Copies of this chain bind each other. A is one copy, B any other.
C-alpha cells in the first residue's frame, strides 16, 4: 500500500531505529509524526518487546500501535554476521541511526559507531542507555524507574507523610526520547550548515542516558543545594514559593487545579468567588502572608469549591480571569471541545484494529504540519519495500534472507 506523502518538516529524512521499548521509540515516533521515513529494525519472529506490553485489543498491543505509527517495520538479526553486513549497508543510506543496546553491544557486533561512521561519515548516531556510554554505572541495566529515582525528581514528588510517587507514564524514557530528537535535529542542522560551507562529514555520536534528561529539568536544584544548602523535599500539591496553588475537590467529586500565584490573579479569583472578606483578611494580603497561612487559605478555598459543581465553577470563575481547570481523565479529554478544535484526537482505519482514535500531532506547524498515515505496522511488513528501495535487493534475495533467518 502506497501511502499519501507526509507534509512534515522532515519529509525525505531517513531514520533507522534499532532500539526497543520506549526511549528510542519516542524519538523515532516524533520524527515519524513529522514526516521522516522511520524504519524500525525488529528481531525476526519476536519483534520489539513493546509488542508484548498490555493492554491489548484484538491481541495487538495498543502501546505498539500508537508508539509505532507512521513507522515502517523490517526484520533483521543483528547477532548474525549476515545481519551485521546488511545493517552497515542500511546505515550507509540513513541520516540518523537510533540504538538502545547495552553499551558495548554494537561494538562487539562490529557495527559500533567507529565502523558505521567510517563507512558513512555523515551519519548521526543517537545512543540510548540507562546510564550513558561512560562512567562507573555504564554497565548497569537501565530501566526508566531507576533513572527517575536517581534523577532527583522522585524525592520531591508526593506528600510529606506518604511515600514518594513514581510517574504514571514512562516519564524518564519519554523525556530522554524527546531529548534524542532535539539533539539529533541540532546535529543535523550543524551537518547541513557545514555542508553548505563545504566542510562535509559532520556525522557524530550523541550519548543520551535515561537519568540525565529528567535531571536536566530539575533546573536550579543543584545550585540551591550548593549555595543555600537547600534540598527540596516532598510538599504535596502546594507550591513552595507562592500560594494559593493546589488541587481541590468539587461538590460533584471532581478534582480541580487552581493557581493564583500573582497578586492580580489572586484578587480576580477572590472577587469572582465573592470573597470580599478574604480579600480584606490580613493573613492573605500578599504572597508572603498567603504562603505563611496557606493551610488556612486552602481550607477556605476547599470549603467554597466543595460546595459547587465543577461545571458551575468553570462557568463562574473562568470569565473573571480565574486560573482553574479540571483534572481530566482520558474519557473527559475525548469529550472536550478544545481538544477537538485543535485536532488533538484523530481517527483512522487500521487493518488490525479497525476504526481507531488516537492522539494527534503536537505541536502545530503553519507550513509543514505533521500527518498520521497509519498505526504501527506488523513485524517485517516493509521488508520488501525497504530492502528493495534502500539496498536494491531482488525478491529472490529477500526470500533467501528470510529462509536463512537473517531477516
Contact = CB atoms under 8 A, between A and B. Distances in A.
A8 B204 CA distance: 12
A171 to B, nearest CB: 7
Interface string A203-219: 01111110011011111
Contacts of A325: 145-147, 149-150
Count of chain copies: 2
Contact of A162 (B148, B162, B261): B162
Interface string A223-243: 111111011111111000100
Given A329-B231, A362-B179, A367 B202 contact: yes
13 contacts: A62-B220, A62-B227, A143-B323, A145-B258, A149-B325, A155-B255, A168-B235, A185-B189, A205-B365, A205-B367, A222-B359, A223-B357, A225-B330
Contacts of A9: 183, 186-187, 189-190
Nearest to A246: B166
A196 B188 CA distance: 14
A217 B171 contact: yes
Contacts of A368: 187, 190, 202, 204
A65 B323 CA distance: 28
Interface in A345-376: 345, 353, 356-359, 362-368
Given A217-B171, A328-B152, A226 B334 contact: yes
A54 interface: yes
Interface string A317-356: 0100101111111110110111001101100000001001
A66 interface: yes
A116 interface: no
A12 B186 CA distance: 12
A364 B10 CA distance: 23
**A224, A232, A246 interface centre (most CB from chain B within 10 Å):** A224
A337 B218 CA distance: 19
A329 to B, nearest CB: 5
A151 B216 CA distance: 22
Contacts of A34: 183, 186
A232 B331 CA distance: 10
Contact of A230 (B55, B174, B323, B357): B55
